[in-house]
């Protein structure tokens, strides 16, 4: 196999949860360009179908609520039956309720936990059952820099992203030779971060925090994700790949005189 071929996904079947927008959309389209047969899952079936149409021949779409474990398992099983295999699963959906801890309600807590943790768990479990039976495959869940560093108002979201890291590590230990990894983005221009982008001061503060002094595009998160599910990452499992422009590498923004 040539070096370039290691990054290809020809002949692979890929399921992308959250493919209707943002990072999930970029992952689905990128996987299709690399030769995968892609199934675009999203709560919004109309958006998923629009992405599948852009992905080209062989791509398909279906509605799926990742919070419903039985529905996720049924959708993944149906895809495997149609396609004959399942090689790649990527789960991207997340929600954030930005509130101080003391202002959080039980309903807020359940809303964030049910999508971010239960949803990711449901995708991990459904894909894992199929892939461990086949003895092959690769799964990527989306964590965040918030699994490591926080700010006011990020408590429950941060907790969910840390939980995903531990789910990934445990699954990697249990599912081998199936590989399981996490991607941890920094700030990315997606529908989830639209409220931040709408506030110029907030937007610029986040841009300034990273070494690269800018936000990421969804494609810049999709590319490392697709690396992890390719044969180029055949010895990578149980890890967290930070794609954050250096956000977690630096401590503060002050540059001492003379430096």
Catalytic residue among 157, 203, 206, 235: 157
Measure the CA–CA gap between 156 and 100, rounded to whole angstroms. 10
Measure the CA–CA gap between 258 and 248, rounded to whole angstroms. 24
- Where would I find the beta strands (DSSP E) of 105-234? 138-142, 179-185
Q: H helices of 2-119, where?
A: 22-33, 45-55, 69-83, 106-113
Measure the CA–CA gap between 254 and 251, rounded to whole angstroms. 9
Burial of 33 (0-12, 13-18, 19+ CB in 10 A): middle
Annotated catalytic residue 157: yes
Indicate which residues carry an active-site annotation: 157
């Amino acid at each position: 196999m040539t070096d370039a071929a290691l990054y290809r996904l020809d002949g692979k079947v890929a399921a992308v949860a959250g493919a209707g927008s943002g990072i999930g959309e970029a992952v689905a389209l990128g996987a299709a360009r690399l030769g995968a047969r892609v199934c675009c899952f999203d709560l919004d079936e109309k958006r998923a179908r629009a992405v599948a149409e852009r992905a080209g021949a062989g791509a398909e779409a279906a509605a799926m609520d990742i919070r419903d474990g039985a529905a996720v398992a049924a959708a993944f099983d149906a895809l495997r039956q149609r396609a004959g295999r399942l090689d790649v699963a990527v789960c991207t959906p997340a929600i954030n309720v930005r509130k101080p801890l003391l202002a959080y309600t039980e309903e807020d807590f359940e809303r964030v936990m049910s999508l971010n943790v239960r949803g990711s768990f449901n995708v991990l479990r459904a894909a894992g059952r199929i892939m461990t039976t086949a003895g092959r495959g690769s799964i990527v869940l989306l964590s965040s820099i918030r699994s490591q560093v926080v700010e006011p108002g990020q408590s429950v979201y941060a907790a969910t992203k840390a939980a995903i890291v531990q789910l990934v590590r445990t699954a990697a230990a249990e599912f081998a030779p199936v590989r399981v990894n996490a991607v941890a983005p920094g700030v990315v221009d997606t529908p989830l971060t639209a409220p931040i982008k709408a506030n110029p001061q907030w937007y610029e503060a986040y841009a300034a925090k990273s070494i690269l002094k800018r936000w990421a595009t969804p494609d810049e998160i999709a590319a490392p994700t697709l690396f992890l599910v390719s044969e180029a990452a055949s010895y990578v499992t149980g890890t967290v790949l930070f794609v954050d422009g250096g956000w977690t590498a630096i401590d503060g923004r002050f540059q001492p005189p003379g430096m």
